[in-house]
Chains A and B, each alone.
Chain A
Amino acid sequence: MEEFLAEDYLLSAVDVLVRIVEAGGAVIIFAGALTAFFKFIVAAIRSRRSDDFVTVRLSLGRFLALGLEFQLAGDILRTAVAPTFSQIGQLAAIAAIRTVLNYFLRREIREEREELEARPMLSDDVKSKGGAASHSAESG
């Protein structure tokens, strides 16, 4: 039992978990950027309306916010195995950057959605897409 709970095993296990969670965050961010890029191209070819571009931006913001949540989870996990003061300092800096960024990103998404909903000429389809994107980002 003592062997199973040895510090080395704990460090290895947490390290694997951190890598998985951080990789998940990176995959979400990359997938979001890729999806947004193709949606921008489709919107540019098909509709050419600026409202559609705003909707795609909201969707990208939602992906970024979700990816940040994963990366913050990885930061929290990493605090369990940060042995040196330098590592803790780096961790604090990264976590601070991500937390501040997450806050501003969410605020921006909310403002964009309100702006989108306030436009009188907007179709219900675009409104519902923007609203859904922002709502899911805020609820996370």
Chain B
Amino acid sequence: MPYSLDALATLVSGAGLVAGLIILSVTRAWRMALFSMLDFWLAAGLLRLSGAPSWPVIGTAAALIAIRRLSAATLRERE
């Protein structure tokens, strides 16, 4: 994976963390904050999948996406 893509993905991950904290502090809606943060992390995962990734990178992205989907589905059911 190109270094620049990795750097962009890290930047997006950081932005997601900051956005989540801002939403949490403004609205106190932790589900909204968590979903937004996961959306950013998903974007970071997709950026890491760009180019010609190796098997470990593919596995990590798949695991991240699965965790994200699972947590979103679980939280939705509890609403």
Task: Name A residues whose Cβ lies closer than 8 Å to a Cβ of B.
Answer: 22-23, 25-26, 29-30, 32-34, 36-37, 40-41, 44, 48, 50, 53-54, 56-57, 60-61, 63-64, 67-68, 71, 90, 93-94, 97-98, 100-101, 104, 108
Contacts and interface: CB of A to CB of B under 8 A. Distances in A.
B29 to A, nearest CB: 5
A50 B36 contact: no
A23 B68 CA distance: 24
Nearest to B72: A108
Interface of B: 5, 8, 12, 15-16, 18-19, 22-23, 26-27, 29, 32, 35-36, 39-40, 42-44, 46-47, 49-53, 55, 58, 61-62, 65, 69, 72
B50 A34 contact: no
Contacts of A100: 65
* Most chain A CB atoms below 10 A, which of B15, B35, B49, B62: B49
Contacts of A29: 43, 46-47
